[in-house]
Amino acid sequence: MFTLQDKITLVTGAGSGIGAAIAETFAKAGAFVFVTDRDQASGQDTVNRIMSQGGKAEFVVLDVSREEACAEIARHVLTTKQRLDILVNNAGIGHVGTMMQTTGADLDRLYAVNVRGVFNMSRAFLTDMLRRRSGNIINLASIGGVVAVRDRLAYCTTKFAVVGLTKSIALDHAREGIRCNCICPGRVETPFVSARLKEYPDPKKAYDEMAATQALGRMAKPEEIAASALYLASDESSFITGTAFLIDGGWSAGK
């Protein structure tokens, strides 16, 4: 169950956190994983961990906001492996602020990565997926793409766009062999979040306040988000497309 044996996969933003957990989970399930990230050191670390456990992976440096860079990695993947079975658009960035605390440049910066990055990568691989009438695209959105989150105007705007982009791809290409879904996590205890918590005067109090947003009273682990990605990547989810898959610890239950 949930095997990805001999599947060719690619995960963006896989140097740490959720992306790294997805890459490692896919490799353990038998997939070859192209690990991409802007940070070469962290991306290579992910590849090294995968290979030390007997998995198969290759690192490629990538800035998803650059359309030509996305086209170039598609050429590389299709030349070396002849196909891509599963694309995970995980790379993303955040911003804290209301509209009055957000500049146009802030919004443009998030849009370039969070929305155009998903668009760029999906478009780069979709032509070949359509030719083969087979492809699975998984986008990382957020609970902030389903309900508004206070002081996260730019972030929520882009993540709502990712949900819409996901549904549009799914609907447009469902009868051409393409599935497209997105995962909407609540707060996740990633290295980035852990580092930010240490900046608070009382890190434990800050953690408890963030954790309280989830009905379960804690943040998710990256591996829990990766488990949902594995399900969506597997043949067991073959009847699921166009779905915003909430992994939010009950955050949205009371909304």
Which structural domains are found in the chain, ordered by start? 8-185+222-245 (3.40.50.720), 189-219 (no CATH)
- Cα-Cα-Cα-Cα dihedral sign, residues 155, 144, 215, 232: negative
Counting beta carbons within 10 angstroms of the beta carbon of residue 141, is it exposed (0 to 12), middle (13 to 18) or buried (19 or more)?
buried
Q: What percent of the chain has pLDDT over 70?
A: 100
- According to DSSP, the residues that pair with 218 across neighbouring strands are none
Q: What is the dihedral of CA 96, 102, 103, 104, to 10 degrees?
A: 90
Q: How many Å apart are CA 125 and CA 112, to the nearest integer?
A: 18
Q: What is the DSSP letter of 92?
A: -
Q: How many Å apart are CA 186 and CA 63, to the nearest integer?
A: 25
pLDDT at 254: 77
pLDDT at 163: 98
Residue with structure tokens 């599947």? 7
Average pLDDT value over all residues in the chain: 96
Which pair of tokens denotes residue 164?
């819409």
pLDDT band at 195 (very low <50, low <70, confident <90, very high): confident
Q: How many Å apart are CA 230 and CA 51, to the nearest integer?
A: 19
- The catalytic residues are 155
Which pair of tokens denotes residue 179?
């599935």
**DSSP code per residue over 121-152:** HHHHHHHHHHHHT-EEEEEE--GGGTS--TTB
Which pair of tokens denotes residue 206?
């800050």
Q: What percent of the chain has pLDDT over 90?
A: 92
Q: How many Å apart are CA 14 and CA 58, to the nearest integer?
A: 11
pLDDT at 73 over 90: yes
Q: What is the DSSP letter of 221?
A: P
pLDDT 10s digits, 14-33: 999 999 999 999 999 999 99
pTM: 0.96
pLDDT 10s digits, 177-194: 999 999 999 999 988 888
Q: At what angle do helices 153-173 and 104-114 cross, to 10 degrees?
A: 30
